[in-house]
Amino acid sequence: MSVPLNAIAPPTLELEWERVELLAQCLLSSQRGAEPAGEQIERLQQLQARLERLRNSEQSPWRRLPVEDLPPLALDLLAAVYAAETRPRVGWIYQELQSGSAQTFATPALLSLLLAFDDSELASLRGLIAADGALVARKLVAVESNSAFSPLRPEPAMLARLMDWPLPEQTPPGAVRVRQRADWDELVLPTDRARMLREFLLWLRHRERVVDEWGGRPVGGPVALFSGPSGTGKTFAAIVLATELGWPLFRVDLARLVSKYIGETEKNLGRLFDAAHGQPMVLQFDEVDALMSKRGEIKEARDRYANMEVSYLLARIEEHQGPCILTTNLRSQIDKAFSRRFQMVVEFPRPDAQARAELWRRMLPQRAPLADDLDIPFLARAVNLTGGNIRNAGLHAAYLAAGDRRAIDMSHIAIAVWRELAKDRVQLNPSDLGPLAAHLPEALL
Ligand SMILES: Nc1ncnc2c1ncn2[C@@H]1O[C@H](COP(=O)(O)OP(=O)(O)O)[C@@H](O)[C@H]1O
Ligand SMILES: [Mg+2]
């Protein structure tokens, strides 16, 4: 996590970090066989006395965190854990103290030395950082395992709250943030489909009214399935929805989450959903067909596990509080039993001639000069392309025109469409371009 250089922590916290740093320095000296200096001990005693008062005062910055009813030792621990981030020098000393480790976070073993814990304090430490212990349950520290040599880390959100730092971006593990934004008017869809997308948002905006006020059955999600051929705007529609909500969009790569190791997939999905639960974010699972198509056809052991993964994924998606968008290119292969579990199923059609004309108008760069012979309605009728094809061809035509130092004309478009179609066709004939073929330069044929 990056620390803003201008972060100025409140004075009491500065004293906390100073104390931890001093403790760490003293421990380092004693590991090297040297006595701590007298003035270090003196300063430590001073700090200890002041901090005791400050921690108990109404103004204690620790009160920003859920620390009520924790034993005093818990604040000592928190200060020592957080100091590795708030004062990076401390992190370096921790690393040195745990020689041979690349770790800048303290382990319980180190913390108990640093804070000079006796046996009963050590037991208390173990209790606080157990899976159901207060520090973990309240999400104050993150623990990987309950080994004495597994590092304790500050939970970024709590650290940010304590320090008044901007909230860290919480990317759920296994997901990738999609930064693209897009507005409704950029989306070219039949009116009823656009309407369905807006209705999907109602499930998010009016949950309180319908569930809390009117007693509607609470369900997870909402979950939408977008189906349709590649390039028809399924992913783009997810961007539009996230933009409209003002929420970040995260794309989940299922292929990456589905592990060849049995049981790992559940674990990976579990981590993802735990991190995303109840957060204001849109999760998008792209091309889920691989997971959903084979249900019921158990031919070999591998398939059986794939089926377990499917049920687990669907169960997790259903109970997840927050919008999920699944996309697939193969509607027909999706089990009807699946579709019934979604709040909304939207089919994305290939655009008709009118929609294609609309797409061509948008996809040619806005300020590009257009030749007089450029006939968009003709072009739209001539070749049955998807929005994705038109986006690529429109841009390629612009580069061709720029290379020719001319306005975009029909020959540029014809070449660009030819190139676009050639991407997924081995054998391409001019007739595939329909009447647009007349504009292909001789040299290409
Ligand atoms: N219906 C559409 N309306 C507007 N733009 C579209 C549409 N379909 C495709 N596009 C354009 O093509 C690009 C690729 O489409 P994409 O959403 O990735 O298709 P899909 O996810 O269905 O395969 C989009 O980023 C967008 O620029
Ligand atoms: Mg897509």
Residue 144: which pLDDT band, with cuts at 50, 70 and 90? confident
Say yes or no: 139 and 251 in one domain.
no
Nearest in space to 381 (alpha carbons), one of 440, 434, 437, 422: 434
- pLDDT tens-digit profile of 345-397? 999 999 999 999 999 999 999 999 999 999 999 999 999 999 999 999 999 99
Residue nearest to atom 8 of ligand 1 (CA): 233
Three-state SS at 141: strand
Mean pLDDT of the chain: 88
Say yes or no: 343 and 358 in one domain.
no
Q: Which bound ligand lies closest to the C-alpha atom of 180?
A: 1
**φ, ψ for residue 105 (rounded to 5)?**
-105, 150
Q: Which bound ligand lies closest to the C-alpha atom of 386?
A: 1
Q: Which bound ligand lies closest to the C-alpha atom of 234?
A: 1
pLDDT score recorded for residue 260: 67
Q: In this model, does residue 301 exceed pLDDT 60? A: no
Who has greater pLDDT, 406 or 272? Answer: 406
Residue nearest to atom 25 of ligand 1 (CA): 236
- Within 8 A by CB and 6+ apart from 429, the residues are none
In a domain, 94, yes or no: yes
Ligand 1 atom, smallest distance to 363 CA: 27
In a domain, 168, yes or no: no
Alpha carbon of 337 to ligand 2 centroid (Å): 23
Domain-terminating residue out of 163, 190, 221: 163
pLDDT score recorded for residue 298: 44
Domain that holds residue 362: 353-444
Nearest in space to 58 (alpha carbons), one of 14, 12, 20: 12
Ligand 1 atom, smallest distance to 180 CA: 25
- pLDDT tens-digit profile of 246-264? 899 999 987 777 776 767 7
Say yes or no: 255 and 398 in one domain.
no
Residue 276: which pLDDT band, with cuts at 50, 70 and 90? confident
In a domain, 5, yes or no: no
pLDDT score recorded for residue 297: 47
Alpha carbon of 76 to ligand 1 centroid (Å): 54
Our count of domains for the chain comes to: 3
pLDDT score recorded for residue 295: 47
Alpha carbon of 66 to ligand 2 centroid (Å): 42
**Across-strand partners of 290?**
none
Say yes or no: 150 and 41 in one domain.
yes
Q: In this model, does residue 421 exceed pLDDT 70? A: yes
Residue nearest to atom 17 of ligand 1 (CA): 233
Domain-terminating residue out of 318, 347, 376: 347
In a domain, 6, yes or no: no
Residue 442 CB neighbours (<10 A): 5
Say yes or no: 274 and 391 in one domain.
no
What value does the mean pLDDT take over residues 131-155? Answer: 91
Residue 307: which pLDDT band, with cuts at 50, 70 and 90? low
Q: Which bound ligand lies closest to the C-alpha atom of 226?
A: 1
Nearest in space to 312 (alpha carbons), one of 256, 271, 340: 271
pLDDT score recorded for residue 333: 63
Alpha carbon of 312 to ligand 2 centroid (Å): 23
Give the CATH number for residue 338.
Answer: 3.40.50.300
For the ranges 100-104, 154-158, 159-163, 188-192, the lowest mean pLDDT is seen at 100-104
Who has greater pLDDT, 83 or 34? Answer: 83
Residue 274: which pLDDT band, with cuts at 50, 70 and 90? confident
Alpha carbon of 84 to ligand 2 centroid (Å): 41
Distance of CA 12 to the CA centre of its chain: 35
Alpha carbon of 118 to ligand 1 centroid (Å): 63
Residue 422 CB neighbours (<10 A): 12
- Distance between CA atoms of 288 and 309, rounded to whole angstroms? 12
Give the CATH number for residue 373.
Answer: 1.10.8.60
- Distance between CA atoms of 232 and 38, rounded to whole angstroms? 74
Ligand 1 atom, smallest distance to 286 CA: 21
Say yes or no: 147 and 253 in one domain.
no
Residue nearest to atom 18 of ligand 1 (CA): 235
Say yes or no: 111 and 59 in one domain.
yes
**φ, ψ for residue 316 (rounded to 5)?**
-65, -40
Say yes or no: 151 and 15 in one domain.
yes
In a domain, 1, yes or no: no
Say yes or no: 340 and 359 in one domain.
no
Residue list, ligand 1 pocket, CB within 6 Å: 186-189, 230-236, 327, 348, 387-388, 391
Say yes or no: 82 and 58 in one domain.
yes
Model confidence, pTM: 0.68
Residue 131: which pLDDT band, with cuts at 50, 70 and 90? confident
- pLDDT tens-digit profile of 203-217? 999 988 999 899 999
What value does the mean pLDDT take over residues 80-108? Answer: 92
Ligand 1 atom, smallest distance to 238 CA: 17
Please measure the distance between the N-terminal and C-terminal CA atoms of the chain and give it in whole angstroms.
Answer: 56
pLDDT score recorded for residue 303: 55
Say yes or no: 316 and 279 in one domain.
yes
Alpha carbon of 365 to ligand 1 centroid (Å): 16
What value does the mean pLDDT take over residues 338-342? Answer: 81
pLDDT score recorded for residue 296: 46
Ligand 1 atom, smallest distance to 351 CA: 1
* Mutation pick for ligand 1 pocket among 236, 241, 251 (CB with most ligand atoms within 8 Å): 236
Residue length of the chain: 445
In a domain, 21, yes or no: yes
In a domain, 286, yes or no: yes
Residue nearest to atom 7 of ligand 1 (CA): 233
- Distance between CA atoms of 320 and 38, rounded to whole angstroms? 57
